[in-house]
A and B are shown apart, each in its own frame.
Chain A
Amino acid sequence: MNCKEFQELISAAVDLRLPDDGLAAFKDHSVRCSACRFEYEAEASTKLFVRSRTKRVRTPASLALQISEQIGREASAGHPSWIAELLGKPLVKPAIGFALAFVTVLLLLQDSMHVGPTTQAAFGSTDVILQSLMNHRSMLSGEMKPQFASSEPAQLAGFFSGITEYSVLLPRLKDCRLVGGVQNEFAGTKLAHIVYQHNNEIVYIYQTCWATVKRGEKLHLPDNVKDELLRSGWFSATQPDGRSIVLWTKGRTLCAAVARMSKEDLFACVMSGERGW
């Protein structure tokens, strides 16, 4: 093997992709030629150095959310939204709107009770905050509907019974009406989704196994959020779009509540059910 042939094989050697029959000749040349040996060692060192000094980063949650929402808008342009009709139609006067909405939601929820469980995990991000915000958005847009509708915690508890390895928490929240729930899986992890109605807003609560999130493999939280939860048991934040998220843990359950209200109001809302948590 001459120097030119050796040079052409350096990358393959560094990446352990030299065929067995070429390895002996490569080694032999590197022993005889110090310049080529240096080139090989320098390339290997460069690769190791770059790898040790560069970290793969996760896509920022805000960007992932933005992209998903953009895709959602493209996909569902023109689709009617059951919950938006219920809660947010600007053209309907509030009093009439509320009455219509109440009737509408009853009809829709009755209908949705017949929808079979859907357990396909599709959204790619493992970030619990991002998933919670996306699900809240899906709830508002009507893409996500309760599989089981009930305002009675005991009935809903029956729906979740035996499905999750953690307790699904269903407290009565002050000034809130329990609407229903959804259960499904993400990467083999069981998720529970609870929906409340608070005045003209939806309070969505995502619940999953805290231990799984702590491990960070199938689901994860940003380090600062996880640290805060481990330290105090609570975390809250307001998104640029005005939505707030409150996370807390209770036993083996991690909860994330999302609503279009200040984080203080959302915190007070979930705290009102503290006995149930």
Chain B
Amino acid sequence: MKFSAKSEKHWAFEREALPHMDLLYNYALRTTNNAQDADDLVQETFLKAFRFWGSYEQGTNIKAWLFRIMKNSYINRYRKETKEPDTVDYDEVKDFYSSVRHESTDSNDLQETLFGNLLDDDVTKAIASLPDEFRTVVILSDIEGLSYEEIAEFVDCPLGTVRSRLHRGRKLLREQLMEYGKQRGYVAED
């Protein structure tokens, strides 16, 4: 609500940036897999965004702008804490997981066949375990429901890259979920 003592900058920020808090919070939660870390990350993001509000170009995609601030904050935090880059070469990890059975399955039963009765926590854990570049597009597409165009703007890459990362991300996710399923005995070993 607008009252006379607020500055225009404060007003504009509340009106344009704060409504996207849920999007950032959900992403932060999925990425850090830790409520406290997600809180810290979202707070840091909005504080930075407010301080650098002058660099936001009015009329451009505010969600993408906020998201990029959050990504940078996350990367800086991660690097400070681990001194390791947060990327994994897909080719290195893909052999780690057992491959899925290459046979056609009735699509109605496919979810059951692949994932059995996995818990929501398993899904959360599996998403968090994905390499960053794949986790980001899977969260933005399959949980947040963003379009390819929006995702491309968020992560600053071409549409084709979004598409291929989604494919690889979902495949890694599937394999990780199947691995959990096997460990829990929900899914038969090959």
Contact = CB atoms under 8 A, between A and B. Distances in A.
Contacts of B11: 120, 122
Secondary structure of the A side of the interface? helix
Nearest to A47: B142
B1 A75 contact: no
Interface of B: 1-7, 9-11, 13-15, 17-22, 25-26, 29-30, 39, 42-43, 46-47, 50-51, 100-105, 107, 110-111, 114-115, 118, 120, 123-124, 127, 138, 141-144, 148, 163-164, 166-167, 170-171, 173-174, 177
Secondary structure of the B side of the interface? helix
A263 interface: no
Nearest to A56: B26
Interface stretch (A3-11, A19-27, A93-101, A231-239): A3-11
Nearest to B20: A124
18 contacts: A11-B163, A34-B104, A38-B101, A41-B110, A45-B110, A46-B174, A51-B142, A53-B118, A54-B30, A67-B43, A70-B43, A74-B47, A75-B6, A76-B6, A118-B3, A120-B2, A124-B20, A141-B5
A159 interface: no
A118 B163 CA distance: 46
Interface string A119-143: 1111111000000000100100111
Residue of B3, B51, B103 ringed by the most chain A CB atoms within 10 A: B3
Interface residues of A, number: 63
B43 A66 contact: yes
